[in-house]
Copies of this chain bind each other. A is one copy, B any other.
Amino acid sequence: VSESTRAQPGADSAPTIEDVRSAAALLSAVAVPTPVLTSAALDRRTGAAVAIKCENLQRTGSFKFRGAYTALARLGASERERGVIAFSSGNHALAVATAARDHDTTALIVMPADAPAGKLASIADLGARVVTFDRYTDDRFALTARLAAEHGLITIPPFDHPGVIAGAGTTTLEFLEQTGGLDTLVMPLGGGGHLAGAGVVKAAESRATRLVGVETAAGDKTRQSLRAGRRVRIPVPRTIADGVTGEIPGELTFAVNRRLLDDVVVVDDLEILAAMAWLFQETKLVVEPTGALGVAALLAGRVEVSGQRVGVVVSGGNIEPRRFHALTQSVPIRGQDQVVPVDTPT
């Protein structure tokens, strides 16, 4: 019996590597083993060998499906039958609604009223019910708890849950297998579930891999919390990265991340937009603001990676064409304003 299986984890304990492995086995039938791309241009910019893990090509358009599906699968049959409830800025909502449909149960989704219309429409298409809240005034936790109690629903939290973290960890398990090993792994950092999952995998399988989380400059709750040595609550950050607008790291996720996360760096909104435009142009990938945090940090030179094998996760691509354009239209694009030496035939 290995050390990690000796103690049976309870519902409030961090998952073990075995939990991540069993999530990977479960997901192998339903999730996309997302492709890993490389970019000569990114390698030149960073002086590293960079592998890009495309979780924007995951089912539901983000890595969130991994955690939501795993959490629903781990429910008992009678719990699952009652239906589930989730609050989310969008991607977790899509993931829970899809996982609920996969499991033949119902989902009630609590969403910010200003979530992109396309996300609301997709949720409704999946057969879920939607309740909206004001992201700057309502207490979404209290609202979700009240609705859960009233309707007897099981809450599937977006990150602070062992099943969700175990599912999220499968991204890293898969990425390490696909690349054969990484010196540094750079990922967007929101509530901390994706990185906590990465930490569990790192601790068991790849101790030497440096884990770097990327936050927005306006929403560096985990950076502040790590410095303070405890979970720090920040004001709701105003940023274009609508997937990482939480005020405080998760309890479970922070417990893992304070042990296993090696560094947190930040990028500002303009750097995120530049990364989105760069990803569009150079890699042909549609990436939403939050999904581009890792690449933004690499392009801005915020992580020391020269000479290394680097992995960066693109975590989601749920953005409508019009919003993508509205956000990125003022980013300078190579070629548009560049003078190219051209010969005219004479």
Among A113-121, A188-196, A293-301, the stretch that binds chain B is A113-121
Residues of B within 8 A of A284 (CB): 56-57, 61, 285-287, 317
Known contacts A121-B335, A317-B284; A132 and B325 CB within 8 A of each other: no
The answer to the question of A338 belonging to the interface, with a C-beta cut-off of 8 Å to chain B, is: yes
Interchain nearest-CB distance for A76 vs B (Å):
27
Known contacts A120-B335, A321-B277; A344 and B131 CB within 8 A of each other: yes
Task: For chain A, give the interface size range.
Answer: 35 or more
The answer to the question of A334 belonging to the interface, with a C-beta cut-off of 8 Å to chain B, is: yes
Residues of B within 8 A of A217 (CB): none
Among A122-130, A162-170, A254-262, the stretch that binds chain B is A122-130
B345 near A131: Cβ-Cβ < 8 Å: yes
The answer to the question of A236 belonging to the interface, with a C-beta cut-off of 8 Å to chain B, is: no
B124 near A340: Cβ-Cβ < 8 Å: yes
- Select from chain B the residue with minimum beta-carbon distance to A98: B40
The answer to the question of A143 belonging to the interface, with a C-beta cut-off of 8 Å to chain B, is: yes
Residues of B within 8 A of A116 (CB): 335
Interface string of A32-64 (1 = CB under 8 A from B): 100101101000000000000010110101000
B130 near A341: Cβ-Cβ < 8 Å: yes
Known contacts A335-B122, A338-B117; A131 and B325 CB within 8 A of each other: no
Known contacts A320-B335, A322-B333, A334-B121; A131 and B342 CB within 8 A of each other: yes
Residues of B within 8 A of A321 (CB): 277, 280-281, 324-325, 328-329, 331, 333
A320 near B131: Cβ-Cβ < 8 Å: no
Q: Which of B286, B328, B338, B344 makes the CB contact (< 8 A) with A132?
A: B344
Interchain nearest-CB distance for A125 vs B (Å):
8
Residues of B within 8 A of A336 (CB): 117-118, 320, 322
B121 near A340: Cβ-Cβ < 8 Å: yes
Residues of B within 8 A of A40 (CB): 59
Q: How far is the CA of A116 from the CA of B340 in the complex (A)?
A: 12
The answer to the question of A343 belonging to the interface, with a C-beta cut-off of 8 Å to chain B, is: yes
Interchain nearest-CB distance for A346 vs B (Å):
10
Residues of chain A in range 20-36 having any CB-CB distance to chain B below 8 Å: 32, 35
A121 near B345: Cβ-Cβ < 8 Å: no
Interchain nearest-CB distance for A147 vs B (Å):
7
Q: How far is the CA of A130 from the CA of B341 in the complex (A)?
A: 7
A335 near B118: Cβ-Cβ < 8 Å: yes
Residues of chain A in range 245-293 having any CB-CB distance to chain B below 8 Å: 277, 280-281, 283-287
Interface string of A229-246 (1 = CB under 8 A from B): 000000000000000000
Q: How far is the CA of A117 from the CA of B338 in the complex (A)?
A: 8
Residues of B within 8 A of A322 (CB): 325, 329, 333, 336
- Select from chain B the residue with minimum beta-carbon distance to A41: B125
A124 near B333: Cβ-Cβ < 8 Å: no
23 A-B pairs, CB-CB below 8 angstroms? A35-B54, A35-B57, A40-B59, A61-B284, A116-B335, A117-B340, A120-B340, A121-B334, A121-B338, A121-B340, A124-B340, A131-B343, A132-B342, A132-B345, A147-B345, A277-B321, A284-B285, A284-B317, A320-B335, A321-B324, A321-B328, A321-B329, A324-B325
Q: Which 10 interchain pairs have the tightest Cβ spacing?
A: A118-B335, A284-B317, A121-B335, A35-B35, A325-B325, A284-B286, A120-B340, A56-B284, A131-B343, A117-B335
